[in-house]
Amino acid sequence: MTKRKVISVIVENQPGVLARISGLFSGRGFNIESLAVGETEDVTTSRMTIVANGDDLVLEQILKQLNKLIDVIKVTDMSEESHVEVDLALIKVEIKDPAHKSDIMTTVGIFRARILDVTSDVFLIEVTGSEDKVNAFIELMKQHGIREMVRTGTIAMTRTKIQK
């Protein structure tokens, strides 16, 4: 049975680490659905958030292989823990008819998105939230015409456990 896994990998912030980790997935014929990488609060480390689908056996092997890589500090299967996921998209939406501006702005408000830039014929919109929320927003914007779009992919963090 195919499962969705969200994996957090803390790595040394060194050249070539991303290539080695993505090579681990491709070498096993395993597709990465989403991959986001950025520095952590410590500039010597980066966090990779990897979203992948696969069966339990393949995913377990991937987790074991990640832990063996020299530049990897910590691997966390976030799917097994309480966590928060966020996706970000920047979307250029066409304003084909000035009468549609208010429809687009209303949808932006409902989704708690933000208009970052406006020209006479395009809104540049930022939307953040769960993957489902971002997908739903994109579907609604398609009716107006999406000129260009970029997405970050999922980033995630475990929830803080309450100290007693």
pLDDT in tens, the chain (164 residues): 778 889 999 999 999 999 988 888 877 777 788 999 999 999 999 999 999 888 888 888 888 989 999 899 999 999 888 999 999 999 999 998 888 899 999 999 999 999 999 999 999 999 999 999 999 999 999 999 999 999 988 999 988 877 77
Last residue of a domain, one of 21, 49, 81: 81
Residue type, 126: E
Token representation of residue 103? 């429809």
Residue type, 37: V
Range of the domain at 100: 84-157
Q: In terms of domains, do 12 and 57 share one?
A: yes
Last residue of a domain, one of 57, 81, 105: 81
Last residue of a domain, one of 31, 60, 81: 81
Q: In terms of domains, do 42 and 61 share one?
A: yes
Q: In terms of domains, do 103 and 59 share one?
A: no
User: In the prediction, which pLDDT does 116 show?
Assistant: 98
Q: In terms of domains, do 75 and 8 share one?
A: yes
For CA atoms 48, 28, 26, 91, the dihedral sign is negative
Question: CB-based contacts of 65: which residues, under 8 Å, 6+ apart?
Answer: 24, 28
Residue 162 lies in a domain: no
Residue 67 lies in a domain: yes
Helix (H, G, I), strand (E, B) or coil at 78: helix
User: In the prediction, which pLDDT does 108 show?
Assistant: 97
Residue 46 lies in a domain: yes
Q: In terms of domains, do 64 and 29 share one?
A: yes
Cα distance between residue 89 and residue 151, in whole Å: 4
Helix (H, G, I), strand (E, B) or coil at 82: coil
Number of domains within the chain: 2
Cα distance between residue 12 and residue 132, in whole Å: 31
What 8-state DSSP symbol labels residue 162?
P
User: In the prediction, which pLDDT does 98 show?
Assistant: 85
The CATH number of residue 90's host domain is: 3.30.70.1150
